[in-house]
Chains A and B, each alone.
Chain A
Amino acid sequence: MNLHTLTALELRSRLDRGSVKPQDILADLRGRYEAVEKKVMAFARPPSFEYRDGAAAGALKGIPVVIKDNICSQGDLTECCSKILKGFVAPYDATVVERLKKSGASIMGKANMDEFAFGSSCETSCFHPTRNPWNLDCVPGGSSGGSCACVVADEAIVALGSDTGGSIRQPASLCGVVGMKPTYGRVSRYGLVAFASSLDQIGPITKDVRDNALVLGVIAGHDDRDATSAHMDVPDYLAEMEKDIRGLRVAIPREYFVEGMDADVRQAMMEAKAKLESLGARFGEVRLPHTDYAVAVYYIIATAEASSNLARFDGVQYGLRQTGGSKDESALVGMYKETRDKGFGAEAKRRLILGTYVLSSGYYDAYYLRASRVRRLIREDFDKVFKEYDVVLTPTSPTPAFRIGEKMDNPLSMYLSDIYTISVNLAGVPAISVPCGFTGSGLPVGMQLIGRPFGETDLYRAAFHYEQGTSWHKQKPKL
């Protein structure tokens, strides 16, 4: 039986019928892992295929879930694929993990990622780069590259990622899976190792839209432990998305279809638009005039917050500790500097320096404060569009998967690969990436649907009906 190729809902019905036991799924996944992991390298460390039966019975009873290495699960290593968090065993469960466990899911293991989610290629992991299952010479995208790669490689049924500037959607697009970045405040961040607190969200990465809706339904909802969590009821996404999309108003932003977009990506987008039109969606062109500033705003705000969030990694309580330092500094300062120098990779240091700089005395107003103002303009752009439209359609990434090493020495070009996803985090709105085709060289292309705040239902509806009318999501890489 190839249980590993099935979706959570498909397994659910077999589990309910009793034709499959949870242990069977794990045994099957173990076989798959042993067969392909050495090629893909999607995990941060070997997962556990032991079935840990919680008493809970819910929507995910018996379904194994892979989570990104920046989500705390009690008693497990949570190292954010960094050296500095080496040996950090979380003494508590993230709220999403608590909810997964309560729904009967078992946490199978942790997926590889860019160190502290700093990256768009999964190359900055301190362990190893993850490879794109469609072409092992290419990156899977990032930072949730491991989560996306293990889902498309059938090493996992479903996975969780986190998205600060596109870290779920961009790798979902590059790997050909479904990835949702929910509305800011929709899913609790408690237990997610913070990168940029005002931008981070956890979301599901799945083989199809239905599974995605299923998992979001489990993890979403208000949490007392996260003051930025919204008091909003969680809709029955699975039921809601069945409603057809006739009359759904879809906007195409002019600023997103400009130079730099790969020809195959453009082609896939045109076909996706035609498909949605055939399903009854109505299209119109809109302006998101501040789009051009999004990357700049993002790299100021995200790095500023990160420089503060990551200050706690100092060798005092957990993780790496190095001593040394120069003679004219105290042993304490020496410990801080050596620990952080040895513990952080180049990309992390680069962002910590930028983030520290934009907050430092004399520069705060020019950078951080100004960026926070432009951020509001970006949000207002979306507010205007959503007065007349239900969703916005864009590519998820301007290009398909690029080759490993290609952008490592050019941070700015790496940053620009998030150009279509970043505005979404700045505005706090939800967006989903759905497979919508392949390039001539056989790499997946994803489209992004952006919704109004708490408009996940619209996104699932559009994505689900689109998916029903296509077969992109059924394609599997040959491994």
Chain B
Amino acid sequence: MPISRDDVKHIAHLARLGLTEEEISHFQGQLESILEYVDKLKTVDVSRVDPMTHVLDLKNVYRKDSVSPSIDPQAVLKIAPAAQGQFYKVPKVIE
């Protein structure tokens, strides 16, 4: 199916990828040919097949509600791109 530049831009925005114009053209063509290839799935009759997310027949996997120690915040804050005190810092979020 044809993919427009706007489609690529929209998807890139959803994926928070800031693509250059050149990249958009590039991916437009590649996405189109990959989608064309995967279109072969349309020929399979799946009307009576349940989707499979998990290959193992596991269910009801829980953990007990008992506290385990948290990690030292410094172990992660020291590699943070920006921190203030014991907070992570990000560009101001406007609501």
Asked whether the complex places CB atoms of A and B closer than 8 A, the reply is: yes
Which positions 41-95 of chain B face chain A at CB distance < 8 Å? 41-42, 44, 46, 49-56, 58, 61, 63, 71-72, 75-76, 79-82, 88, 90-94
Contact of B30 (CB < 8 Å), options: A296, A321, A370, A411: A411
Q: A275 to nearest B CB, angstroms?
A: 31
Q: B29 to nearest A CB, angstroms?
A: 11
Could you show 27 A-B contacts with beta carbons less than 8 Å apart?
A91-B75, A184-B55, A184-B56, A198-B54, A228-B61, A292-B40, A293-B41, A297-B41, A299-B34, A311-B15, A325-B18, A334-B91, A340-B16, A340-B17, A344-B17, A349-B19, A352-B15, A354-B31, A356-B11, A367-B41, A371-B41, A373-B44, A374-B46, A379-B52, A426-B55, A428-B55, A453-B56
Q: Number of contact residues on A: which range applies?
A: 35 or more
Q: Could you say which residues of chain A place their CB within 8 Å of the CB of B6? A: none
Q: How far is the CA of A315 from the CA of B58 in the complex (A)?
A: 35
Contact call B38/A87, Cβ cutoff below 8 A: no
Q: Could you say which residues of chain A place their CB within 8 Å of the CB of B23? A: 346, 349
Say yes or no: A373-B50 contact (C-beta < 8 A), given A185-B56, A290-B44, A411-B30: yes
Interface of A is mostly: helix
**Which residues on A are within 8 Å of B, measured CB to CB?**
87-89, 91-92, 184-185, 198, 224, 227-228, 230, 290, 292-293, 295-297, 299-300, 307, 311, 314-321, 323, 325-326, 330-338, 340-341, 344, 346, 349-350, 352-357, 360, 366-367, 369-377, 379, 411-412, 426-428, 453
Q: Number of contact residues on B: which range applies?
A: 35 or more
Contact of A307 (CB < 8 Å), options: B15, B44, B75, B88: B15
- Apart from A224-B63, A357-B31, A377-B49, 5 more pairs, CB < 8 Å: A352-B17, A355-B15, A360-B11, A377-B44, A379-B52
Say yes or no: A332-B90 contact (C-beta < 8 A), given A314-B16, A349-B19: yes
Contact call B76/A374, Cβ cutoff below 8 A: no
Q: How far is the CA of A316 from the CA of B91 in the complex (A)?
A: 9
Q: A325 to nearest B CB, angstroms?
A: 6
Q: How far is the CA of A376 from the CA of B78 in the complex (A)?
A: 45
Q: How far is the CA of A428 from the CA of B53 in the complex (A)?
A: 11
Q: B48 to nearest A CB, angstroms?
A: 9
Say yes or no: A332-B76 contact (C-beta < 8 A), given A290-B44, A349-B17, A376-B52: no
Q: A185 to nearest B CB, angstroms?
A: 5
Q: A308 to nearest B CB, angstroms?
A: 10
Q: Could you say which residues of chain A place their CB within 8 Å of the CB of B55? A: 184-185, 198, 379, 426-428, 453
Say yes or no: A318-B80 contact (C-beta < 8 A), given A330-B91, A372-B53: yes
Q: How far is the CA of A297 from the CA of B39 in the complex (A)?
A: 10
Considering the complex, give the chain B residue whose CB is closest to the CB of A368. Answer: B51
Which 5 pairs of residues, A with B, have the shortest CB-CB distance?
A428-B55, A337-B18, A372-B51, A331-B91, A321-B81
Q: Could you say which residues of chain A place their CB within 8 Å of the CB of B52? A: 372-373, 375-376, 379
Q: B8 to nearest A CB, angstroms?
A: 7
Q: Could you say which residues of chain A place their CB within 8 Å of the CB of B40? A: 292-293, 296
Contact call A319/B17, Cβ cutoff below 8 A: no
Q: How far is the CA of A308 from the CA of B8 in the complex (A)?
A: 17
Q: A98 to nearest B CB, angstroms?
A: 15
Contact of A321 (CB < 8 Å), options: B44, B49, B82: B82
Considering the complex, give the chain A residue whose CB is closest to the CB of B44. Answer: A374
Q: How far is the CA of A5 from the CA of B88 in the complex (A)?
A: 48
Considering the complex, give the chain B residue whose CB is closest to the CB of A297. Answer: B41
Contact of A317 (CB < 8 Å), options: B30, B35, B88, B93: B88
Q: Could you say which residues of chain B place their CB within 8 Å of the CB of A426? A: 55
